Structure 1
Amino acid sequence: MNQFIKLFSSAAVIFLVLDFIWLLLIAKKIYQDQLGSLLGPTKIIPAVVFYVLYLIGILFFVIYPAIEKDSLIYAISAGAFLGVLCYGTYDLTNLATIKDWPLLVTMIDLVWGGFVTAMTCGVTVFIAQHFNWR
Structure 2
Amino acid sequence: MTYILAYIGTAIAFLCLDFLWLGTVATGFYKSRIGELLLAQPNFIAAGLFYLVYVAGIVYFAVQPALVSGSWTTAAVAGGILGLIAYGTYDMTNLATLKNWSPAVSAVDMAWGTVLTGFAASVGYWVARKFSVGF
Q: TM-score range by the shorter chain?
A: over 0.9
Instruction: Please tell me the residue identity of whatever aligns with 2:127.
Output: I
AA aligned to 1:89 is T
List runs of 5+ in structure 2 lacking aligned partners: none
Q: Does 1:4 align with 2:15?
A: no
Residue 67 (structure 1) aligned with residue 67 (structure 2):
yes
**TM-score (normalised: structure 2):** 0.94
More relative contact order, 1 or 2 (CA 8 Å, 6+ apart): 2
Aligned residues: 133
Q: What is residue 33 of structure 2 aligned with on the other side? A: 34
**Residues 105-120 of structure 1 aligned to structure 2 (within 5 Å):** 105-120=105-120
Q: Give unpaired runs (5+ residues) of structure 1.
A: none
Residue 79 of structure 1 and its aligned partner are, at CA, apart by 0.7
The 5 Å alignment of 1:1-134 reads 2-40=1-39, 41-132=41-132
* In structure 2, C-alpha distance between the alignment counterparts of 1:126 and 1:4, rounded to whole Å: 12
SS at match of 1:56: helix
TM superposition outliers: structure 1 runs of 4+ over 3 Å: none
**1:32-83 deviation digits (Å, cap 9, x = unpaired):** 1000210112001100010001001011111111101101111111111100
Is contact 2:34–2:101 with CA below 8 Å preserved after alignment? yes
Q: CA deviation at 1:3?
A: 2.4
Q: Quick one: percent identity of the two aligned structures?
A: 38
TM-score normalised to the size of structure 1? 0.94
Deviation at 1:8, TM superposition (A): 1.1
What's the C-alpha RMSD, in Å, of the aligned pairs? 1.2
Distance 2:21 2:98 in 1: 24
Deviation at 1:130, TM superposition (A): 2.5
Give the C-alpha shift of residue 131 in structure 1: 2.8
- In structure 1, what is the Cα distance between the partners aligned to 2:8 and 2:130? 16
